[in-house]
Structure 1
Amino acid sequence: MAGNKLKSEKKEPKKKKEQLPDPTTLKPDKEPEVKVKELVKDERTHKVLGAFFLLLALYCFIAFTSYLFTWEEDFDKVHRYSSSVLFRHEVEVDNLLGRLGAFTSHWFFFKGFGIASYLFCYFFFIIGINFIVGRRVFRFWRNVKYIIFGLLFISMTFAFLTGKSTFPWGGAMGDALNRWTSGFLGKTGAGLLLLVAGLSWIIWKFNVDFKWPEKKPKPVKEKEPFAGFGEPDEEEEGEPAPVFTAPAKSNAMKGDGSQITVIPPAEEEDFEQELQLIEKEEPAAKVITYIPPTPVPEPEPEPEEELVMTMHEPELEPEPEIYTPPPVSKKNTEAAEVAFEIKPVYEDPSDEEVEEIVPVREAVPVDPYEPTLDLRDYKYPSLEMLENHGSDKIVQDTTELEKNKNQIIDTLKNYDIAIQKISATVGPTVTLYEIVPAAGVRISRIKNLEDDIALSLSALGIRIIAPIPGRGTIGIEVPNVKKTIVSLRNMLASDKFQHSQMDLPIAIGKKIDNENFIADLAKMPHLLMAGATGQGKSVGINTLLVSLLYKKHPSQLKFVLVDPKKVELSLYKLIEKHFLAKLPGEEDAIITDTKKVVHTLNALCIEMDLRYDLLKEAGTRNIREYNGKFTQRRLNPQKGHRYLPFIVLVIDEFADLIMTAGKEVEMPIARLAQLARAVGIHLIIATQRPSVNIITGTIKANFPARIAFKVSSKIDSRTILDIGGAEQLIGQGDMLISFNGELVRLQCAFVDTPEVERVAEFIGEQRGYPDAFLLPEYIDEKDMEGKDFSLADRDPLFEEAARVIVQNQQGSTSLLQRRMKLGYNRAGRLMDQLEAAGIVGPNMGSKAREVNVKTEADLEEILNSML
């Protein structure tokens, strides 16, 4: 062991000597790796390119100018040798830049565009300046359009004017265009075309005004000015523009009582824009009192706002707000001269029911049917269960408003855009600056400065509305530094929500002017929501559902909740026996399984068809007319008529359903969207991926009301809203809603998860219905393939169905659907079993089957024989 150690010790120094570098040899240094991508992005590369293009512009300019004087001496040499002249040392040319200058000028002038070739110098110049400065000094594409037009127009014009001149004023391109145009339109037509094109470009570029000289009016005696407005005398050239002053209310921005002065914009003198602040806020303190449901008279129409020229005063609502649950609507029956009362007369229990029509001279007072009496002790949730997350009063930072106003004016002034007036409307999340541009300013110029204004304001992202519909102004929406949370409690306590006469009122959020946006889901009639992950879709769904829970009775509204994520809508499981609807035999009312979603959607389609049959028999067109007739007891429940509650289908993640089920989900959704609104079935669909394969054209066509939270790209915004803008939102409930043909920006009302739990627990602890609202049964035909039926395996409802058919003497499948609340598949199987038993005849197409059994006694004999 010791010997081995010594050997190893002796060997180690030798290895170290071998590893030492030789001092006599030099190793080459490693060159740093240069990546092409970084080289292209490097600022120095841009400056080198800029210098190259500037040199190229100067080179072409010198070569072209020298060509004007030396073209005759150099023409034969360049024309004879073509490009080989560059390499012939014996050839001498007179161009200042040698053979290359002579060849380049000959190629641009003679074979190109003639005198218009100078535009290439301008083209290289703007590219070089933009590269060197590092920002867009000259607009590239706009100048490219001008250069292309100039090359064609100038070359053709010079070729037309010079004719057969020896110098190539128009070049080969101008001569070719001139020959073709003159042959097509003639010499005169070609000249007129050039004249019209030139005048059109001048008018488009400089917006020339053509005014007919007016006669000077005769001098009139001077009049005294009226109400502070003076009639200005005629101006002489060179005098400054007059100043018009109008009495106005004190400016909310500066707190002074001075007059608002509007000065027409002048080019030489700077003008000071005075910012007008438009406020619209609700009272900060609210007194909330709970009052049991009582009939409430219709609210009086609100007085219209006065139109003020310069300032809009904040509109205050009444003092304390009182929370009143929705009134119980009772319609009084009016007396008529001659009315008819339907009285059932029972002569014998075995006989059929006979209706006797008795004429009466006066209307018999009949108490209207009240569906809310099924749960007469139901209590609406109180507003104390919701939290007040923020005050209604908007926090106004005067310094921020003034700073943003000045930045907007300065940015527009840098681009020679003058404005006449600017005003500000402060909202919860964004502030709307409305500007009135000076005469002659094109809106597109301001619209194109969106990024420049955002840069000057250092804002997250601004949105320009040019113009604001119905206002005659241009809007610039700038996010606030301090944002205000919109609380759902304050919206539900507002007078607009409490006294609304809508069928399905939903409190969505607040506008920029701090006005509550409350809409009727029944008139939307379906709602499509989209937005990126974490931008407020789930909170928006909770806001809509809680709004309906605070306004509707369990007998008037049912929810069908589809939650593929299994956790978002689980809070509403507690209200299953009050507000939820489900398929027969299902344990959980909140659908999470894709296959059960398909069955539920088809069951809703069956429910829709049944409701349309009821509306047809009642002679009504929509659910309001039908329920109105039913509550007035003008429809007979023994004929299958019943009170129809509204049904709201909520799908939280629609994209997941399309990926897993595809057409099986899309077809019933499209059917419901097209037809279900008249029978009280409405859809709320949310997705975080608004792509074209998810939101198809069929679905978009039937969802006119759409909500877009912040999305990642302009393509997604156009998919959901058919217009851009959603990609510039700032998130956290900031939304755009497209409704009734207009696009409105809102801040969504906020309701937290514990608040929803408290509301659901309060409703769930009350007495409810024995079970959830049952939808018609749906059995997939694929599951029933190959299963033949026999009388031994007849349906449990066979006897009941037979009695319904015999009593009505009508062998109709739709009759079984209405009376027994069955799906079409099960009713059809029952009808086939009745045919096999001999109770009804064979299928006769669109006609009802013939009933072979005429009395219930004969039916009982048949049923007893089958036991």
Structure 2
Amino acid sequence: MANRLKSKKSQKPAADKKLKPEKESQVTVKQLVKDERTHKITGAVFLLLAIFLFIAFTSYLFTWKEDQDKVFHGASILLPSSNVKVSNLLGNLGALVSHEFFFKGFGLASYFFCSIFFIIGVNLLFARRIFSISRNLRYVLAGLLFFSVAAAFVTHGMDFPWGGAVGDMISDWLTRFLGWIGTAALLLVAGLAYIIWRFNPVFHVPSLPKKEQAAAPVPVPEPVEPEKPAPKEKGKKGAKLFVDESFNNGKGNVLKEDGGIVAIAPPLEEEPHIEFTVTEREGSGEAPFDPDPILAEAEEEDDIDEEPGEEPPPPLKMPPIPPLAKTPGDLQLEIKTAPEPPAEPEAAGEESLIPENMPDYEPTLDLRDYKYPGLELLEAHGSEKIVQDPSELEANKNQIINTLKNYDISISKISATVGPTVTLYEIVPAAGVRISRIKNLEDDIALSLAALGIRIIAPIPGKGTIGIEVPNVKKTVVSMRTLLSSDKFQHSNFNLPIAIGKKIDNENFIVDLSSMPHLLMAGATGQGKSVGLNAILVSLLYKKHPSQLKLVLVDPKKVELSIYRTIEKHFLAKLPGEEEAIITDTKKVVHTLNALCIEMDNRYDLLKEANARNIKEYNEKFIKRRLNPQKGHQYLPFIVLVVDEFADLIMTAGKEIEMPIARLAQLARAVGIHLIIATQRPSVNIITGTIKANFPARIGFKVSSKIDSRTILDAGGADQLIGKGDMLISYNGEITRLQCAFVDTPEVEAITQFIGRQRGYPESYKLPEYVDEKEMEAKDFDLGDRDPLFEEAARLIVVNQLGSTSLIQRKMKLGYNRAGRLMDQLEAAGVVGPGQGSKPRDVLIKTEHELEHYLNP
């Protein structure tokens, strides 16, 4: 035993050496304030304060005479050296506090302070919102003022301060202002208003006895059985189910039925339960309307309502209405139709040239073997079924309800519509809640949900709800194949159908570009602009024949639209003499835009001669062979101008780009020329007011600031998007959130190669030739009529390798006009290149030897 004890003692110090000192946890003031135990202790203090005031006030009612002379000494009776003894049950402190509240305060109405302290204490102690503090605080403040003044007015002249000093002061002022009768009437009305506001009583009007005139007894209506809930409709998915909770402060509602009044029992004092349901639309909702299922469901409901063995009542038959008898005085109305005007003769010289019974003109016969690209060229990116996480939906719903409840905002309905990337939570606020209060909580809701891209729509246009858009954790890719295979796109009769993406309710967003009529796109780098342009162009290629559509592609970045080069002889249009159909040079962009303006003017001349208002009427007349091709009439295809980076063009060319763009946007709609402009910088100096006024349809991808969002959409929200194709489109006066369809570069390449391998036109569509007047002035110089100083100026430029007019002015001491004329002659002779704005011209001849050989061949 001794050895064992020794061994234990010897092991003890070794164990002590291995022990580590305990670390004291640091508790901050913020954590201490948020601690649940702190809330409970504070609640207990408030409850104790309420009980203390109640006992002190009640004791003061009986001991105020004995203690009145003692409490006039003020707080000195609380000092330890004071020998004053009072009769209040809570001693000197109770007597002093009661005197301050009753005599100097509100009198008997001071009991309201006990109630408000009690409400705050109960809520803090039980850690839940049992009573509404804000609502009860309003009742307490109003009641404190009213009962204090009423008690002072009724007990005027008594010794006990029933209304307190505040009540006496207000009562005396009202009496001097309104008199005794006016004050009494005002207090009576105020008291009735307070009771109605606080308790909402039901007033019954006694029914007057009726005189006995009818001999038959009055039938007593049988009690109506409560309606059974209608059976759920089979075969319907995603039906919205709303649960409407009544927020009536614990009082029963009153419903009127058949002239009577039925009181409904008040609900239990507990939190209103809001049932939450989810709406998910599998398809796009484009199937043709079939009335048979609805009629069948209606017949089933009728069969359910009928009792077994009971024959249905026969249908009511209305007696035939006899014709009105004619009287001699009746006036007969004789209707005469105007004779049809003779058909307008065709224009002179046209009818004689058109053979009779000639078939309609078919523009697609030029490429009769053209095949439209198939859907197999596109890929289905991922699963088309929307991933729905019930736990995520329930958590977001609870967070939204709790966040609104923290700000005393109660709701009566809530539902969720799950979209590809965003879920829309629709809520209906309770009566009396301002929409602006919910709108101002956008950042608070985003904080509680810990999500990026919260957007509040208050209210949703066309609905009586407020929408809260919350991004999904698992996002679904919207593939282009799904949109193009839908019935809405396949059977659309649009002139230029474009499939952009899907709405939140999983409905395909397919619109007509010709009705927009121009489209403005903006968004930061990498947010989906180029993918959006590809989606629009692919939609047009899938639906239109090469004879019906021509594309003018402007790509300052030189790499985004170059993939469409293979369809040059099918769909692209370019200037005469140009090699590349994809326009990348700024100077050629200016020429192309001006050529489009010339094309627009030419088309308007054709429409004027054909007496047509737009391109649709003109083409219909041409197809019906009512226009003479020998007079210049031809079938006019739609022309779509696509500009990938508009900001770069404005920065380099400025007014030379803005003016033709503004002309086309204002006038080109009727002649079938439509513009699609994309830019990374939606600033006011890039997208000017003249351009914005003629682009009613706008698409905004994610931008960096609210200012950019307002510039492109005239509304905020684009800065709250989550990127990767998340977009807002302003169309027909509504802003809709979409997930842009994704089409990858290999898919576009496969489509263009499929079209490019087919037989096309001998050459691409030629735009009218545009000649720049400034260039013509420079080229119109006669080489024999050169300035005498031409050779000297050429040597000066070549030696300095600087093509600057100011250099000629300084070195040769010439005026600006002559120096400018010399520079134009040098450009026409090929010594210097064209002007580059404020930059010097490029010198094309590098050495003096080359110049001498050029001047003296």
Any conservation in 2 of the 1:525–1:705 contact (CA below 8 Å)? yes
The answer to whether structure 1 residue 697 and structure 2 residue 698 are counterparts is no
Cα deviation for residue 792 of structure 1 reads 13
1:8-157 equivalence runs, <5 A: none
Q: Displacement, 1:45? A: 13
Q: How far is 1:701 from its partner?
A: 2.0
Cα distance change on mapping 1:648 and 1:44 into 2, 3 Å: farther
**Compared with structure 1, are the counterparts of its residues 44 and 532 closer, same or farther at alpha carbon in structure 2 (3 Å cutoff)?**
farther
Tell me the CA shift for residue 731 of structure 1.
Answer: 1.4
Query: 1:316-346 deviations in whole A, cap 9, x for unaligned?
Result: xxxxxxxxxxxxxxxxxxxx9989788xxxx
Letter in 1 for 2:681: R
Match of 2:475 among 467, 473, 483: 483
Larger deviation, residues 620-629 vs 576-585: 576-585
Q: CA deviation at 1:676?
A: 0.9
Q: Is this contact kept in 2: 1:243–1:264, CA < 8 A?
A: no
Provide Cα deviations, 1:787-811, integer angstroms capped at 9, x if missing partner.
6969999xxxxxxxxxxxxxxxxxx
SS at match of 1:627: helix
How many angstroms apart in 2 are the aligned matches of 1:709 and 1:212? Answer: 62
Counterpart Cα distance in 1 of 2:503 and 2:726 = 10
Normalised TM-score (structure 1): 0.57
1:770 and 2:757 matched: no
**Would the aligned equivalents of 2:416 and 2:423 in 1 still touch at CA under 8 Å?**
yes
Equivalent-residue separation in structure 1 for 2:651 and 2:751 (angstroms): 34
SS in 1 for 2:692: helix
Picking from 741, 748, 760, the partner of 1:749 is 741
CA pair 426-262 structure 1, distance change in 2 beyond 3 A: closer
Deviations 1:184-222 (A, max 9, x none): xxx9xx99xx99x9999999xx9x99999999x996212
After alignment, is 642-651 or 688-697 more displaced? 688-697
Question: Contact (CA 8 Å) 2:554, 2:642: kept in 1 or not?
Answer: yes
2:555 matches 1:563: yes
What's the CA shift for 1:749?
0.9
Aligned residue runs from structure 1 range 276-291, under 5 A: 276-281=278-283
Residue 535 of structure 1: which of 527, 538, 541 is its match?
527
Residue deviations 1:93-116 (CA, integer Å, cap 9, x gap): xxxxxxxxxxxxxxxxxxxxxxxx
d(CA) in 2 for partners of 1:44, 1:760: 67
Q: Structure 2, unaligned stretches of length 5 or more?
A: 1-27, 36-115, 121-128, 154-163, 209-217, 247-265, 298-340, 785-857
1:658 aligns with 2:650: yes
SS in 2 for 1:678: coil
Distance, in Å, in 2 between the alignment partners of 1:706 and 1:526 is 8
Q: Which residue of 1 aligns with 2:640?
A: 648
Structure 2 contact 350–628 (Cα < 8 Å) conserved: no
1:370-392 deviations in Å (ceiling 9; x for gaps): 22223333332222222222333
For residues 689-741 of structure 1, the C-alpha deviation after alignment (integer angstroms, 9 at most, x for no partner) is: 22233222322221111111122233322222222222222211111212122
Q: 2:772 aligns with which of 752, 774, 779?
A: 779
1:625 maps onto 2:617 in alignment: yes
Q: Which 10-residue stretch deviates more, 555-564 or 451-460?
A: 451-460
Instruction: Tell me if structure 2 keeps the 8 A contact 1:528–1:703.
Output: yes
1:443 Cα shift?
5.7
- Match of 2:704? 712
Q: Secondary structure at the residue paired with 2:670?
A: helix
Distance verdict in 2 for CA 1:461–1:260, change over 3 Å: closer
Deviations 1:542-590 (A, max 9, x none): 0101111111122211111111222111111222222222223332222
Q: Evaluate the alpha carbon distance shift between residue 423 and residue 587 of structure 1 in structure 2; reply closer, same or farther with a 3 A threshold.
A: same
CA apart distance, 1:426 = 2.6
Q: Give distance in 1, aligned partners of 2:560 and 2:360.
A: 40
Does residue 447 of the first structure (1) align with residue 447 of the second (2)? no
CA-to-aligned-CA distance 1:738-792 (integer Å, 9 cap, x gap): 2122222221111111111122222223333324422341414xx1585696999
C-alpha distance 249-438 of structure 1, shift in aligned 2 (>3 A):
farther
Aligned residues: 666
1:221 aligns with 2:213: no
Asked whether the equivalents of residues 244 and 261 of structure 1 are also in contact (C-alpha less than 8 Å), the reply is: no
2:668 counterpart SS class: helix
> What is the alpha-carbon distance in structure 1 between the residues aligned to residue 207 and residue 641 of structure 2?
68
Counterpart in 1 of 2:515?
523
Q: Secondary structure at the match of 1:607?
A: helix
Tell me the SS of whatever aligns to 2:722: coil
Distance change (3 Å), C-alpha of 1:278 and 1:640: same
Q: 1:218/1:756 Cα in 2 relative to 1: closer, same or farther (>3 Å)?
A: same
In structure 2, the partner of 1:58 is none
Q: Which deviates more from structure 2 when the two are superposed, residues 544-553 or residues 374-383? A: 374-383
Q: Name the CA distance, whole Å, in 1 between partners of 2:292 and 2:449.
A: 33
1:592 aligns with 2:584: yes
2:664 maps to 1:672: yes
For the 8 Å contact 2:574–2:592, the answer to whether it is kept is yes
Q: Deviation string for 1:70-102 (max 9, x for gaps)?
A: xxxxxxxxxxxxxxxxxxxxxxxxxxxxxxxxx
TM-score, normalization by structure 2: 0.58
Counting only pairs closer than 5 Å after superposition, residues 480-519 of structure 1 correspond to structure 2 as 480-519=472-511
Inter-partner Cα distance in structure 2 for 1:209 and 1:621: 67
Answering whether residue 566 of structure 2 is matched by residue 574 of structure 1, we say yes
Say if 2:284 and 2:508, in contact at 8 Å, map to a contact too: no
Residues 596 and 767, structure 2, Cα contact 8 Å, conserved in 1? no
| Equivalent residue runs for 1:227-376 within 5 Å | 247=232, 249=234, 262=243, 264-265=245-246, 268=268, 269=270, 270-271=272-273, 273-281=275-283, 302-303=289-290, 364-376=356-368
Give, as a single letter, the amino acid of the residue that structure 2 aligns with 1:564. P
CA contact (8 A) 1:339 1:363 kept: no
Matched, 1:635 2:635: no
Q: Give the C-alpha shift of residue 524 in structure 1.
A: 0.8
Give CA deviations for 1:640-679 in whole Å, capped at 9, x if unaligned. 2222111111111122222233333222222211111111
CA change 1:244–1:500 in 2 (3 A) is closer
- Cα 1:584–1:209 change in 2 (3 A) is farther
Secondary structure of 1:679's counterpart equals coil
Query: Whole-Å Cα distance in 1 between the matches of residues 523 and 221 of structure 2?
Result: 66
Structure 1 match to 2:397? 408
> Residues 258-287 of structure 1, C-alpha deviation per residue, up to 9 Å, x if partnerless?
x9895744874353615243423269xxxx
- Percent identity among equivalent residues? 59
Aligned to 1:91: none
Distance 1:209 1:738 in 2: 50
**Distance change in 2, residues 1:390/1:658 (3 Å):** same
Q: Which amino acid aligns with 2:516?
A: M
Q: What is residue 805 of structure 1 aligned with on the other side?
A: none
**1:777 partner letter:** Y
Q: For residue 635 of structure 1, what is the amino acid of its counterpart? A: L
Are residues 559 and 243 of structure 1, via their aligned partners in 2, closer, same or farther at CA, if it must alter by over 3 Å? same
Task: State the match for 2:113 in structure 1.
Answer: none
Question: 1:740 aligned to 732, 737, 758, which one?
Answer: 732
User: Which sections of structure 1, spanning at least 5 residues, go unmatched?
Assistant: 1-38, 48-121, 127-136, 138-142, 223-230, 234-241, 284-298, 311-335, 343-354, 794-867
Aligned in 2, Cα 1:359/1:409: closer, same or farther, shift over 3 Å? Answer: same
1:570 is aligned with what amino acid? S
Contact kept in structure 2, 1:658 and 1:694, CA below 8 Å: yes
Deviation at 1:232, TM superposition (A): 7.0
8 Å Cα contact 1:408-1:453 kept in structure 2: no
Tell me how far apart the structure 1 counterparts of residues 668 and 202 of structure 2 sit (CA, whole Å): 57
Change (3 A) 1:742 1:272: closer
Q: Structure 1 residues 561 and 305, CA, compared in 2 at 3 Å: closer, same or farther?
A: farther
SS at match of 1:381: coil
How much has 1:419 moved relative to structure 2? 2.5
Q: Give the Cα–Cα distance (whole angstroms) in 2 for the partners of residues 374 and 445 of structure 1.
A: 61
